[in-house]
Structure 1
Amino acid sequence: MSDMHVSKFGPEDGSPVLLLHGGGVAGWMWNSLRGRLESKYKVLVPDLPGHGQSADEPYRSHIETVDVLSQVLLRGGSAPAAVVGFSLGAQLTVELASTYPDLVDRAMVVSAQAKAMPFAGLTLRALGAAAPLARNRRFARLQARELFVPPELMEDYIDTSAHITKATLLAAVGDNMRFELPAAWSEFRGRALVMVGRRERVLMRDSAVAIHTALPGSEIEIVDGCGHGIPLQRPDWFNGRVAAWLSRQ
């Protein structure tokens, strides 16, 4: 899985910031945040396996993906990095900070599920049966609305969605649904901020509390008026919040 596509922006000697997108989208979800940060920071934006420009390399597991991300940081001389992750990418942020704490000095965990879902097998079977729907433009538009994908990114979303294979879908969503907090998360010594929308499902809000509680010293922020999609639903606010968080000593 060495073929993960990573876009790099900003000064080579800037402090590194790694942006990890959610499942079903790709690095383009960070376009506006990256634009806000790239004058000051070295911004790394991967397309996770099975997504976007990494679509030819199927998603296999969170652990394998985190191992490749660690190599991206090490090879690029980009460690330790601040990591901002959304949804699937937020789980990967927790896993990366827990497994490779020397490579991460800050972790922003946005809308991460951290409690294993019951009946995962049933849900995955239904998902597998529905997988061809992702290639349907009308269905993709409905899904995009759930994530607050803005009009200017709609074609990117439809294209990304159409190229996600059933194998990637089942592997990524399976690991997402079964995800539980690594024990080592409670020992992470960097700065951590856990964020969730007040209008997200109870499972997501409970997960945010669990992630925060497991790491003494972390901050938690519950964002009023937001569902599952804070970075795309309120980009101006979110981008400013990230910039302020990164600049704090």
Structure 2
Amino acid sequence: MYVREAGDAHAPPILLLHGGGVAGWMWRPTLERLGAKARVIVPDLPGHGRSAEEAYRSHEMTAQAVARVLEERAPGGAMVAGFSLGAQLTILLAATRPDLVTSAVVVSAQAKPLPFPQATLGLLGATAPLARQRWFAKLQAKQLFIPDELLTDYLRDSARTSRETLLASVGENIRFTLPTGWADFKNPALVMVGEHERKLMHDSARNIHDSLPGSQMTFVPECGHGIPLQRPDLFAEILADRM
């Protein structure tokens, strides 16, 4: 798994976990704003970006791989912040390896499984080849709030995402439920959701928050499903304040 580090090597560590269909480059606006305030660890998850050759298999396997990254690079633990699919992995890490998660920032995580997931995955499998078409990828980029300066990265990585990775990562995403260990996580946790996201995402955020006593929840104004890309100034400020 490709891992990049940025910021001050002596600053508090933050692990950033990207969403499905993008890669570590999605955090570039956040990194620019954090500067030397943090030591930031940014993996490209399996099947994505520079880790595209190894297909995405499951959340469980990916969380274990990310835990090994933390064991090597931040054995004393790190703040873990994840977006969408990466937010589900953040929850899973906090639940299974709380020794490695000093605090959790959960951004736009779906935590209520969709009914009839096979129908959704069947349609996704049929349309998967479209991801390699530039015109279709551009439409997807707009829905994902990809800014112009990151469009080249998105188009490149969209074209090399395998059907296997697409189906596995989306399948895990739409079936995700909260692990039992989440309710026992003792460190600080913030749950974020965009004001303009779907009702499913609002309900999920409340479920995540209500399931963890002492956690905080915030609705981010003027945002859909793209808080770190729509409001990078605010997001970087929130991370810096929680260090």
Q: Which residue, out of 157, 177, 182, partners 1:180?
A: 177
Residue 37 (structure 2) pairs with residue 37 (structure 1) = no
Residue 199 (structure 2) pairs with residue 199 (structure 1) = no
Residue 115 (structure 2) pairs with residue 118 (structure 1) = yes
Moved over 4 A (4+): none
Where does structure 1 lack aligned partners over 5 or more consecutive residues?
A: none
Q: Which residue, out of 63, 82, 86, partners 1:85?
A: 82
Take 1:36 and 1:44, find their aligned partners in 2: how far apart are those partners?
Answer: 15
Equivalent in the alignment of 2:209: 212
- Count of matched residue pairs: 243
What TM-score, normalized by structure 1, do the two folds share? 0.95
Q: Which residue, out of 96, 99, 122, partners 2:96?
A: 99
Give the conservation status (yes or no) of the 8 Å contact 1:144–1:154.
Answer: yes
* Cα-to-partner distance string for 1:178-217 (whole Å, 9 max, x where unaligned): 0000011010011100000111111100000000000010
Q: CA-atom RMSD, angstroms? A: 1.0
Q: Which residue, out of 145, 168, 171, partners 2:168?
A: 171
Amino acid corresponding to residue 91 of structure 1 in structure 2: Q
Take 2:55 and 2:122, find their aligned partners in 1: how far apart are those partners?
Answer: 19
What TM-score, normalized by structure 2, do the two folds share? 0.97
Residue 21 (structure 2) pairs with residue 60 (structure 1) = no
Give the conservation status (yes or no) of the 8 Å contact 2:195–2:224.
Answer: yes
Q: Alignment identity in percent?
A: 57
Take 1:75 and 1:224, find their aligned partners in 2: how far apart are those partners?
Answer: 37
Amino acid corresponding to residue 32 of structure 2 in structure 1: G
Shift of residue 237 of structure 1? 2.1
Shift of residue 34 of structure 1? 1.5
* Cα-to-partner distance string for 1:105-144 (whole Å, 9 max, x where unaligned): 1100000000111010010010011001101111111111
Shift of residue 226 of structure 1? 1.0
Take 1:11 and 1:197, find their aligned partners in 2: how far apart are those partners?
Answer: 30
Q: Which residue, out of 136, 144, 147, partners 1:139?
A: 136
